[in-house]
Amino acid sequence: MIELDVLFEDNHCLAVNKPAGLLSQGDRSREPSLVDVASHYLKTHHAKPGNVYLGLLHRLDRPASGVMLLAKTSKAAARLSEQFRAGTISKLYWAIVVGSPEEEAGTWADVLTKDRQLNRAHARAIGNHQGKEASVDFRVLARGERHAKLELHPVTGRSHQLRVQLASRGLPILGDIKYGAKVPLKALDGRSRIALHARQITFTHPTRHEPISVLAPVPADWPESLPGWQGPGCGSSRPAAGPRT
């Protein structure tokens, strides 16, 4: 069983650092998922007999890594789920993309449609197509010769949203073959990963009603951690310019 990287835990909440390549929730393949790993952790670490309660509140694409928030009680699950529905939970991502945006910061807004047979999303211009509106605030953290490192704050939470919004602007995430990248990237377990990392999540604690912010370190298979990487953040790259005035 995969060892769980616990970032925050109390009687109601469990925040973990999901590795790339691991499913968030089990599917027909019956491969291990984060829910399986976290449930095993709760049973063994806390010596709980029988089944344990674990509420999956949101998902993270299999080839992505980063922080995920789980509920350990039904009360916490209900209250945190309401925060997700209301859009009051803040999530921050890091992405390394092929290419570089012209702007240093801004907001991208699109309408997303979903091809369920191919499990693939498409971004269209707002006002011209039917679908679900998707919006993300972005900021360039560093630029390299062929790549850029971005900070992404999604305003909405759509399936594959960040991946398709970046790809539609000619900025596919490094390793994301599904959405236009040309070269694959490997996770620690040998599976394909993409250079998308859920860096931080901020929520209101379901019982203490105080803000909690959880930060997820990047894993060893994050491109900037690999020997020989010559992308943004290394000596060959230049930092992004400051905000325009």
Tens-digit pLDDT profile for residues 193-245: 999 999 999 999 999 999 999 999 999 999 999 888 888 865 433 344 443 32
For position 28, what pLDDT does the model report? 79
Candidates 36, 61, 110, 176; catalytic one: 61
- Judge contact between 195 and 141, C-beta under 8 A: no
224 φψ region: left (φ > 0), alpha (ψ -120 to 50), beta (else): alpha
Confirm whether 245 is domain-assigned.
no
CA distances from 239 to 2, 87, 105, 153, 242 (A): 36, 32, 13, 20, 9
Q: Which phi and psi (to 5°) does residue 79 adopt?
A: -75, -40
Residues in the chain with pLDDT values less than 50: 235-245
For position 242, what pLDDT does the model report? 41
Asked about 61 being catalytic, the answer comes back as: yes
pTM given for the model = 0.90
Confirm whether 208 is domain-assigned.
yes
Residue 87: burial class (beta carbons within 10 Å; 0-12, 13-18, 19+): exposed
- Return the CATH number at 129: 3.30.2350.10
Confirm whether 1 is domain-assigned.
no
Confirm whether 239 is domain-assigned.
no
Confirm whether 108 is domain-assigned.
yes
Q: Can you read off the two tokens belonging to residue 219? A: 């894993």
**Total domains present in the chain:** 1
For position 40, what pLDDT does the model report? 93
Confirm whether 82 is domain-assigned.
yes
Confirm whether 16 is domain-assigned.
yes
Cβ neighbours, 10 Å, residue 212: 16
For position 226, what pLDDT does the model report? 86
